Amino acid sequence: MSASLPVTIEDIEAAGRRISGHVIATPLVASASLSKLCGVPVSLKLEHHQSTGSFKLRGATNAVLSLTTEERARGVIAASTGNHGRALAHAAKAEGAVATICMSQLVPTNKVTEIRRLGADVRIFGNSQDEAQEEVERLVAERGLVMVPPFDHPAIVAGQGTLGLEIATQMPDVAMVLVPISGGGLAAGVAAAIKARRPAVRVVGLTMERGAAMKASLAAGKPVLIEEQPSLADSLGGGIGLDNRVTFQMCRELLDDIILLTEAEIAAGMRHSYRQEREIVEGAAAVGIAALLAGKIKDIGGPIAVILSGRNVDMDLHLSVMNGETDPFREGVA
C-alpha cells in the first residue's frame, strides 16, 4: 500500500479513538444461508444498526469533532443523497452546531423528512448530487459555512475506515470484504484499514449499473461526469467530483474490483436480507448480498464479510420490492 495515500491507518486509528462513545461497534453475524450458497463462511456487518441508520455517522462524527470551536459556530453544510445529511445533522446537533443539507429532487421523501426532524436547514436543489453541490458551494461563499463533504474528505474517509478496523478484529481470518461504493468514502476507508491489518484480503466494491461514477472514473483514468438515474440503490447515486482529491486515488490503489448490479439483482438482495436474514435494508446496502446471489463474486478463497450499510429505505418502496417488484423506477412505473 502506497505511503502517499491521503488517509493512513494512523488517521483511521485516531478517528476510532475520537468517535468512541459517539457511534456503536456494530455486530458481525454469520449468515447460514449465504455461507451454504458460497461454500465458505459469510458474515454480515450490520452497520445499518447505527442510530442514524447508516455507516455515515462514523465519518460525519469524526469530521465534526475534528473542527475547531470557531468552525462549528459558523455552521456546517453538505450535499447528500440522504444518509450523509442525516448523519451530519445528528453529529452537528450533538455538538451544538447548525447543519445545512442540500439535496436533489431524486432524494426519497423519507430521508428528507428525517433530516428536517433533526433540525437541519434543508435545501432541495436540482436533479442530481452534482447540482446540489453547486448550491453548497454558493452558500459556503455567501455565508462562510464549513463544508463537510459526503465522501471526498480525509476526516470522512478516516471515520468510515473505523468500520474496517472492526471487521479485521471481529473476523481475523477474513479473505474478502464486500463494500457498497458510490463516491468512495466507505470503500476507501475500509480498504485502507483492512489492507493495513490484513494485506492479502480482497476488497471489492459493489454498485448499481445506473450511474456507476467511480467505476466509470477508474476506467477513464480520471474523475468523469455521469448521468444520475433513479435506482433502488439511491444512496449510491451521484458523481465523485471532477476535482476529487482523496477517494479516487485511494480506490484506484486499494480496491481489487468494482462489480455492477442490475435493479433486479438489487431487489433480490433486499428480499434475501428481509426473508432470510430478518434485516430491513435499503437497496444500496443490499448490493453485497445481491452480488453473491447473482454469482458475480469470483475467486472466493475464504471467509467473506458483507457490509450492510444502511436501512433508511422508504417502507412503501420496501413493501413493493418484497412483493416482487424488481424495478420500480423503469419508464412508465415511477
Task: Please report, rounded to a whole number, the percentage of residues in the chain having pLDDT higher than 70.
Answer: 98
**Residue 129: what pLDDT?**
82
**β-pairing verdict for 202-208 and 176-180:** parallel
Residue 334: pLDDT band with limits 50, 70, 90: very low
Q: CA–CA separation, 17 vs 134, rounded Å? A: 34
Q: Which residues are catalytic?
A: 56, 309
Average pLDDT for 15-19: 98
**Residue 332: what pLDDT?**
44
Q: Which parts of 52-186 are beta strand (E)?
A: 76-79, 99-103, 121-124, 146-147, 176-180
Residue-by-residue DSSP string for 196-254: HH-TT-EEEEEEESTT-HHHHHHHHTS---------TTGGG-S---TT--SHHHHHHHH
Residue 16: pLDDT band with limits 50, 70, 90: very high
**Mean pLDDT score of the chain:** 95
Domains and CATH numbers, the chain: 9-55+153-322 (3.40.50.1100), 56-147 (3.40.50.1100)
Cell (9 digits) for 35: 455461507
Predicted confidence (pLDDT) at residue 2 exceeds the cutoff of 60: no
**Residue 213: what pLDDT?**
94
Predicted confidence (pLDDT) at residue 331 exceeds the cutoff of 80: no
